[in-house]
Chains A and B, each alone.
Chain A
Amino acid sequence: MVETRQGGAMSGVELDGIVKAYGALQVVHGIDLNVAEKEFVVLVGPSGCGKSTTLRMVAGLEEITEGDLTIDGRRMNRVAPKDRDVAMVFQNYALYPHLNVADNMAFGLRIRKMPKAEIATTIADVAEILGLTPYLDRRPADLSGGQRQRVAMGRAIVRHPKVFLFDEPLSNLDAKLRTQMRAEIKRLHNRLGVTSIYVTHDQVEAMTLADRIVVMNDGRIEQVGTPMELFNNPANTFVAGFLGSPPMNQIKGILTETGARIGNTEIKLHGAINGHAGRDVIVGIRPEHVTLGQTDGTSSLPIELDLVEPLGSEALLHARYGDENMVFKADTNGNITHLAGVAEVHVPAHLVKLFDAETGRALNLGA
């Protein structure tokens, strides 16, 4: 069977003030991050935010301009990629087209001069785990996208590395296959227990796979935390707008003694305002947090319904309030006709988030 790393030496990854610059252009501005042993950390952010560059610095494919990278307690800045004991799964699979599945998986082991018999056993074991046994003689061109992705993962797994690095490994797959492979990656991680750093721009992948999510923007970390921490308590408007599908509605407002005024409507807030009345804020309302019926502790927000998008069990209501565009989620109960006349939604006070209008940082005035 495939060995899993259990106990023993720490195989965590530590990034301390990591900077990457190409000449005068700095693209990663001092990343501090600790990835614990066996942890699955997802770096997520929009294109060009520096997440792949950060991952490539961990792999040794990019030089670190400043800062320290430590893997398993050892400083790795000047260590060659092959000696870092990491394995990487690439976005486009990076399978050798002239080699069959077995040879692709054996490539790294042969380079490391592992005995042939041991290579054969390892590949057979990993192929079994990944369901690749019937395809060992096939070349990558003769495989489907999902099978290729599995081979790419197999090539990483056979090495028994300390750290797995995934660079947007599912982005070339169709939506259905992506969901399937996402679950497979999660199962594999649970089974192998190898420290993993995973890069994606897909927040659903980040939410479903991660033990902790690192949201990056413009070469900086915006927030680190568990998926639910980030979802429930985004540190700023960027994180609030990045996680969640559809993202959190962010509406300009002014604090009053009892809540937040949006246009002519007052949204009641949970907790005390503590003398911040008159302050400009961004009011954050998650699309799924509103209700169509009035209940205790909710405020009514009148809307102009623009469009109803049925998704099956729920529907998206695209609406306007003044100049603000908003999206809300509503249950369909198998029918959307009752949604056509929606003129107001009800916002629960305890689920409203507030952000500073100037800095975009989360406000916790009542705490």
Chain B
Amino acid sequence: MSDRNSDIGGLPVEELVVKADEAMRDRRKTRAGDSSWVRTWDHFRREWQIYVMLLPTIIWFIVFLYKPMYGLQIAFKDYSIFRGVADSPWVGWEHFKTLFSNDQFLRAVRNTITISFYNLIFGFPAPIILALMFNEIIHATYKRTAQTIVYLPHFISSVIIAGIVITAFSPTAGIINTIIEWLGFDAVYFLTQPEWFRPIFVGTGIWQEAGFGSIVFLAAIAGVNPSLYESAVVDGANRWQMMWKITIPSILPTILIMLIIRIGNIMEVSFELVILLYQPSTYETADVVNTWVYRQGLQSGQYDLAAAAGLFNAVVAFVLVMTANTLSRRFSRTSLW
């Protein structure tokens, strides 16, 4: 009896016990795996409508953002339309060397960063200030009317916006120059002078987007617990103190999230508006990376060089958004992810 037990299937009992334990563990793992799949499948079956709604976004990302990434490799190739992406020969960092030895590209990078910096300094706070001002308006009808008026420019095409700006600053019929002439000064052809491009561009951007951008901050303000204000009123705070000590700190996480997103887009100066407003005489201050890529890539047919510039743009934006997110998480407990 003991002999049979000690050697079942040619293995001693101790080894059999160990093997049985292992088999049990494997079975448990498989069961756990199964149940996780079952749970996922059950969840999918229960919530399939949500996944269907998500599908268009996923498809959009795949078609317009992930699939084109395949073409990014031409930044490292001597790309020929006839050979195609796959068969064009590799040239390593050649296009990047060309880019960084090209004065026009370096000027475009400088202009992009400068305009973005101005946008950040003046354009980013504008919707926040606007939202805080809207929040202080007590009269409901006046508030709604004012909001509608400032939201409107967002819904107007950039082409029309540019047309309005060009007309307004026109040296002959523009309202600005008319006022200047009324004041006894000579008319200025603003849009041909490099030093005026950035203020006009940044100002136009604020006019077009500040109102619409304020919606996010207004929503954040609406989410502030009203009893915080009531408590502050009883404590003796006036409206100014409530704005600084309650409203702004309460919407700070939203401000930081929007700032991180904005920093991520720092290399994405509004391409259409620059194209519509700049002229060769203002390239010195107006030509940005995207317009340079457009001219080189589409107009001069240097797709590989343009792809290298675009990749550079993306890498810089990626580094910036990662840095901003990390800093924000560390100092304010707020982050995008």
Question: Which A residues form the contact surface with B (CB < 8 A)?
Answer: 59-61, 81-82, 86-88, 90-92, 94, 96-99, 107-108, 111-112, 155, 159
Known: A97-B250, A107-B235. A61 touches B241 (CB 8 A): no
Q: Is the CB of A61 within 8 A of B235?
A: no
Q: How far is the CB of B248 from chain A (nearest CB, A)?
A: 9
Q: Is the CB of A98 within 8 A of B225?
A: no
User: Is chain A's interface secondary structure helix, strand, loop, or mixed overall?
Assistant: loop
Q: How far is the CB of B259 from chain A (nearest CB, A)?
A: 17
Which segment, of B14-22, B207-215, B226-234, B323-331, faces chain A? B226-234
**CB neighbors of A among B233-257 (8 A):** 233-237, 241, 245-246, 249-250, 252
Residues of A within 8 A of B241 (CB): 111
Q: Choose one: A59, A92, A96; the contact of B234 (CB below 8 Å).
A: A59
Q: How far is the CB of B223 from chain A (nearest CB, A)?
A: 11
Question: Which B residues form the contact surface with A (CB < 8 A)?
Answer: 225, 227-228, 230-237, 241, 245-246, 249-250, 252
- In the complex, residue of chain A having the shortest beta-carbon distance to the beta carbon of B228: A94
Q: Choose one: A94, A99, A108, A112; the contact of B230 (CB below 8 Å).
A: A94
Once the chains are docked, how many angstroms separate the CA of A155 from the CA of B235? 9
Q: How far is the CB of A71 from chain B (nearest CB, A)?
A: 13
Residues of B within 8 A of A155 (CB): 231, 235
Once the chains are docked, how many angstroms separate the CA of A97 from the CA of B231? 13
Q: Is the CB of B227 within 8 A of A94?
A: yes
Q: Is the CB of B245 within 8 A of A88?
A: no
Q: Is the CB of B231 within 8 A of A88?
A: yes
Q: Is the CB of B252 within 8 A of A98?
A: yes
- In the complex, residue of chain A having the shortest beta-carbon distance to the beta carbon of B332: A98
Q: How far is the CB of A61 from chain B (nearest CB, A)?
A: 5
Inter-chain pairs besides A81-B236, A90-B230, A107-B232, 19 sampled, C-beta below 8 Å: A60-B234, A61-B234, A81-B233, A82-B234, A82-B236, A82-B237, A86-B234, A91-B227, A92-B225, A94-B230, A94-B231, A96-B246, A97-B250, A108-B234, A108-B236, A111-B235, A112-B235, A155-B231, A159-B235
Q: What is the total of A-B residue contacts with beta carbons within 8 Å?
A: 58
Q: Is the CB of B230 within 8 A of A111?
A: no
Q: Choose one: B225, B245, B250; the contact of A107 (CB below 8 Å).
A: B245
Residues of A within 8 A of B236 (CB): 81-82, 108, 111-112
Q: Is the CB of A82 within 8 A of B235?
A: yes
Q: Is the CB of A88 within 8 A of B249?
A: no
Q: How far is the CB of B227 from chain A (nearest CB, A)?
A: 4
| 11 A–B pairs (Cβ distance < 8 Å), ordered by A | A60-B234, A61-B233, A61-B234, A82-B234, A86-B234, A90-B231, A96-B228, A98-B250, A111-B235, A112-B236, A155-B235
- In the complex, residue of chain B having the shortest beta-carbon distance to the beta carbon of A167: B227
Once the chains are docked, how many angstroms separate the CA of A111 from the CA of B230? 14
- In the complex, residue of chain A having the shortest beta-carbon distance to the beta carbon of B246: A96
- In the complex, residue of chain B having the shortest beta-carbon distance to the beta carbon of A159: B235
Once the chains are docked, how many angstroms separate the CA of A111 from the CA of B245? 10
Residues of B within 8 A of A90 (CB): 227, 230-231
- In the complex, residue of chain A having the shortest beta-carbon distance to the beta carbon of B230: A61
Q: Is the CB of B232 within 8 A of A88?
A: no
- In the complex, residue of chain B having the shortest beta-carbon distance to the beta carbon of A141: B333
- In the complex, residue of chain B having the shortest beta-carbon distance to the beta carbon of A92: B227
Residues of A within 8 A of B245 (CB): 96, 107
* Most A-side CB within 10 Å, residue of B225, B231, B246: B231
Q: Is the CB of B235 within 8 A of A108?
A: yes
Once the chains are docked, how many angstroms separate the CA of A97 from the CA of B227? 12
